[in-house]
Chains A and B, each alone.
Chain A
């Protein structure tokens, strides 16, 4: 041991040399440029090409954007302002059309004095979504809800909402904010009744309708409780039958009678007054909310051991996926009259929502089936080994994992469906993209205006769809368990 250092060491340096700066070529911006833009001949050519593309885009569009006019009452006036300010040859954007007609792009022909109602509906939508979408992070929830509260209340005041409704919205939004600090799950009951409330806010009419729609499942639940001692299967069937009978036979009359006793109605708005982003969002949100559960059911049916169930779902999914959405919308607008008892008519928006839902559900089913197939077989076997029955195994073990795997696919189906809501223009509804722009162009003042509405509408679509895809990335990261 002691022999190791028997000879004395001649020299031991006890101070560190100061670190030398790297050569100029190997540091900072120069190195970054060299590595990322000019690492070789091909790379340099690509850089030059990219710069050329950028230059072309800027040179083409810069003037046009720089010369935008936001204050004018017609396209001619716009052009006069542009030529007066930037010379006779100048070209410029006339965003004044957005300033003048923003209400049509957002609300369609919805009565102007009722604009606050859709605004409130979509504000409350965020509250209803908070426990579902932002259940994990308090910070995100706080930011989203605070912004929603401020924007919704401000917009309602500006749009002239009555004081009573303003107080109502403020109470709901404030409750959402307070509960989100404590336990957001307490907001779930609101999320459950929200769809009915939303329909009532948008279309108006009597509140008794939504109330009695809710009474149906409530009665069904009572029936289930009473019969569940006898047999769970009988109880479930009875609950469904009771609900359906109540809805089909009693609910309509009951709502009418109750309305006669105590009027709880607000001004009703017909479906043909809907348009613009109000229409897109209504169809989109309803389609998203309905197509996910339907898609899950279809996917499970397709994986089922029962031959009939499996083949029915295969036929349905392949048929829907094999035809364009437009043809399904035509079925909704032209053929549904054939398939229903003579004399039945029902709302065109509802028909479109049904078709869009079926369409998205078929795609959703395939996405979820991919998730189910990607799950290791051991998971199914483990569920069986624990003695779970089919539904418990699906609910507790299979679906949570399968849905997590399929999040990107599910969200891109949502995005696709939201983009497809623009196709309702072909069955005579006023989507923001085509019908609304055509309607605006039909006026003498805005004849010949193309690009500005496209940019405005496209921009909003981009924000929503891009937001959805970013949310799906966030969700994937949040649910990442990394068991690979």
Chain B
């Protein structure tokens, strides 16, 4: 047998850099690298020259100067005397608030609509189709503006709720008042306030909140342990012990105890003078933005859910029935795990879209990250370059964190291929 490899090494020639497939990709990459470096150098050089011409520098010191403007919604204490950095953090938190609320509501609504579109009820399925098509095919900005206009133009002013013959009434058993300036919601109040944990920088957490988080997380862990035990028993004996009342108790009883212990109750807003006090007055910009984001994204999520359920072939549910599984077990054990596999990746990108779309807060004057760092701070300090770069990096980090977290979740539910 002759050794083929030994004969096939011709001497290196310069033309092989272009003509030989082994070297061509290397040549090409080197050329691209040089071009990219040249472009980057050109951009940076231009920026430095432009900054010098305008007499500006590139530093983030402005973040520690006094902001000097007010923000209407402040999740952490903030006054006009605080720094631009703190204002930006407040903006970021506001972005997160609307994004999280929007994601939750859009998922709930989207799942309902998506399942309803598959309903055998002709009328209801058609109605849901109309909902989806209308919301998907018009710009989000339109929905934000419409919802905001409904709130500001049609709803009554707070003082219309006054008097015995008020022209407007509160809804949900006198707990919620929709006015043209804000939405008055009931707030949580405690009779035994345990005080707060001070984290420094005037950021505090109420001990009651911490207690609830601890109890809920603990309940979750105990629930998993109970289920693992039940699985273990089932594996050994073939009989699964009844666990539902144990898990239910673990999940709810400690919370109920805490509610009783802290004297937690809802405090409804009431009209004092011209305004509602005692409750939580949420600005209409937040409510309108949240509602519009929810409706718009729900239409997309509905389509994702529908596609996911349709992607599970009929044979799967027929096989499950043939095995004698009840319909709800079929749903939870056969259909849903397979549908989720299809649903979750696009759902993640919808969450990302919603988070990014929340920057449309600019249309209703909601002070999110773009409104503080990329808006008032930018205008006041005149540092466009730093502010926009920082804002983009923050959004980028937010997107990467969300997609990383959701990818972990996805890895857990996706089909295990071996």
Contacts and interface: CB of A to CB of B under 8 A. Distances in A.
Given A312-B32, A450-B153, A43 B388 contact: no
A323 B149 CA distance: 28
Contacts of A451: 146, 149
Query: Which of under 10, 10 to 19, 20 to 34, or 35 or more describes the interface residues of B?
Result: 35 or more
Interface string A336-367: 01111110000000000000000000000000
Among all A-B residue pairs, the 4 with the closest Cβ atoms: A36-B122, A465-B137, A322-B399, A324-B356
B29 interface: yes
A326 to B, nearest CB: 5
Contact of A419 (B18, B47, B127, B140): B140
Given A49-B124, A331-B388, A423-B360, A231 B139 contact: no
A391 interface: no
Interface stretch (B48-56, B182-190, B204-212, B226-234): B48-56
Given A46-B123, A342-B50, 11 more contacts: A37-B121, A308-B29, A327-B391, A327-B392, A330-B374, A338-B51, A342-B49, A422-B142, A433-B139, A434-B363, A469-B137
Contacts of B116: 46
B32 A338 contact: no
Interface string B315-350: 000000000000000000000000000000000000
B133 interface: yes
Interface SS of chain A? helix
A439 interface: no
A267 interface: no
Interface stretch (A158-166, A199-207, A456-464): A456-464
A58 interface: no
B388 A327 contact: yes
| Residue among B28, B123, B146, B360 with the highest chain A CB neighbour number at 10 A | B123
Given A458-B142, A462-B134, A50 B400 contact: no
B362 A426 contact: yes
Given A324-B359, A338-B47, A433-B139, A319 B127 contact: no
Interface residues of A, number: 59
Contact of A342 (B53, B120, B124): B53
B25 interface: yes
A308 B141 CA distance: 38
Nearest to A426: B362
A50 B47 contact: no
Given A450-B149, A466-B133, A306 B370 contact: no
B217 interface: no
9 contacts: A46-B123, A319-B396, A325-B356, A326-B370, A330-B374, A334-B388, A419-B138, A465-B138, A469-B137
B359 A327 contact: yes
Contacts of B360: 326, 423
A309 B29 contact: yes
A305 interface: yes
Interface of B: 18-19, 25, 28-29, 32-33, 36, 43, 46-47, 49-51, 53, 116, 119-124, 127, 133-134, 136-142, 145-146, 149, 153, 352, 356-357, 359-360, 362-363, 370, 374, 384-385, 388, 391-392, 395-396, 399-400
A53 interface: yes
Nearest to A423: B141
A8 to B, nearest CB: 49
A409 B138 CA distance: 17
A323 B399 contact: yes
Contacts of B362: 326, 426
A234 B24 CA distance: 13
Contacts of B396: 319, 322-323
Contact of A433 (B50, B123, B127, B142): B142
Interface in A419-473: 419-420, 422-423, 425-426, 433-434, 448, 450-451, 454, 457-458, 461-462, 465-466, 469
Contacts of B121: 36-37, 43, 46-47, 50
Interface string A222-254: 000000000101100000000000000000000
Nearest to B396: A322
Given A330-B388, A415-B137, A461-B137, A308 B32 contact: yes
Contacts of B142: 422, 433, 454, 457-458, 461
Contacts of B49: 341-342
B36 A312 contact: yes
A150 interface: no
A321 interface: yes
A50 B43 CA distance: 59
B373 to A, nearest CB: 10
Contacts of B146: 451, 454, 458
A51 interface: yes
Nearest to A40: B120
Contacts of B385: 335, 338
